[in-house]
Amino acid sequence: MAMDLDALLEKNRYGGEDQKPSIEALLAKNKYGGKNSGATEVVNIAPEYPHDVDIGPLFCRSADRCFLDGGGLCGAYQSGNRNKGMLQDLYNACKETGFFFVYNTMVEDQTLQTVYEHTLRIHTAQNAALKEEVRAEARDCLTAGWVPYKSHPAYDAGIIANRCSYHITPPVQNGTEPWQVRKWPSTDLVGDDFEPDIARFYEQSEVIAKGLAAAFSRMLGLDDDYFAKLRTDKSLSLLQLSYYPPQQPSPDSRDMLGAQTDGVLFSIVNQNCPGLQVQDAQGRWCNVRCSSERFIVLIGDAMEVVTGGEIRATKHRNITMPHERAMITFRAGLDPDVVLAPHELYDDGSGDYAPRTQMEHFKMRNKALTQRLGG
């Protein structure tokens, strides 16, 4: 007997009963944070997957693929209901926790594992020629290339950034600015598959970002293409492949990545091991779990400005861990000349958000961080 839509959705909430992770197993695997994390606050372990949002409805029809177990593509009525439920889930997540997980993204597990393998390869390679070949011209989150360990702004005075990262910018045709020219390592140093694999994953990340941007537009009562018009192939988006070497946590340790928000519309994150902490809407720091089937979505500054503070940017940080870890982050930015200001539906006239372009916002952030860190 065929299952109804609600039953199918419940069955597929965790990718099928056989894939539903045990909360006990996750707790045992992810015992971290608190006194041993290098952070002094009390850190909560977030519920299994708080606000787990199925974004399959954003892609299923265009991909001609159904994510529901044994189901064909939904009819117009069922598809409409799934989209309404997804938008409600997005709103609840933004208001109640300030961050959320998404699943049914169409990114295959093997694709993600391949990107992690490439990330570890480029960061752990003992090859000075490789690192010099792709070294970024600046240490900000705009410029393509490799940023060395402890070279990033760490967001707090006295904190030393405990990561190195490799940045992939949008594929701008005939671009000349540092954020428009990709830096790929030679194939004899990283193999033939590195560039096509990473470029393909960038494209997949952009597809997810476009779908989420449209969903946020509808959720906020804006035109469906409101954010799409602000994000072209020249956007200040970035795929960041980060590596955090192992380091024994200590209450006195200053090697970490301090609390920050991202200057973009939102960020899509995946980590292969624990270490990311997110501050929820109540101001509590939470350890977030790892999953190859899920990405974490963090609200950015641009979203907060457009909504006049109705939707707040998500503060997050990375702590020291005794094991090596990697993290993949796609930052969905707007075009450089887009003016960040509250939309008329959300402008209360308070003047809390002074208008500035996306590029100006990034430059002001970088300048403030440099001054704060004495650089």
CA distance 177 to 240: 18
Indicate whether 57 belongs to any domain.
no
- pLDDT, tens only, 102-158: 999 989 999 999 999 999 999 888 777 787 888 877 666 678 888 877 665 555 555
pLDDT of residue 6: 43
d(CA 206, CA 59): 13
pTM over 0.85: no
Q: Quick one: pLDDT at residue 73?
A: 74
CA distance 271 to 273: 6
Residue 342 falls within a domain, yes or no?
yes
What does the pLDDT read at residue 24?
A: 32
> What pLDDT is stored for residue 252 in this prediction?
55
Q: Tell me, yes or no, whether 71 lies in a domain.
A: no
What single-letter DSSP state applies at residue 247? -
Pairing of strands 52-54, 285-287: unpaired
In a domain, 297, yes or no: yes
User: What integer pLDDT is reported at residue 150 of this predicted model?
Assistant: 63
∠ CA 9-14-15 to the nearest 5 degrees?
80
Q: Does residue 198 fall inside a structural domain? A: yes
Predicted local distance difference test score (pLDDT) of residue 360:
93
Overall number of domains in the chain = 1
- Structural domain including 114 reads 102-372
| pLDDT of the residue at 149 | 72
Check residue 256 and give its pLDDT: 53
Sign of CA dihedral 60, 63, 64, 70: negative
Q: How many CB atoms lie within 10 A of CB 43?
A: 18
Alpha helices in the chain (DSSP H): 5-11, 23-29, 60-63, 76-96, 109-124, 128-133, 187-190, 194-219, 301-306, 358-372
Residue 26 within a domain:
no
The enclosing domain of 339 has a CATH number of 2.60.120.330
User: 3-state class of 35 per DSSP?
Assistant: helix
What are the average pLDDT values for consecutive 10-residue runs of the chain, which has 375 residues? 39 35 32 35 61 89 75 71 90 92 92 96 82 75 77 56 85 70 88 95 96 96 96 93 83 60 96 91 86 91 96 90 92 96 93 92 73 42
Query: 6: which residues sit within 8 A by CB, 6+ positions away?
Result: none
Instruction: Note whether residue 113 is domain-resident.
Output: yes
The answer to the question of residue 96 being in a domain is: no
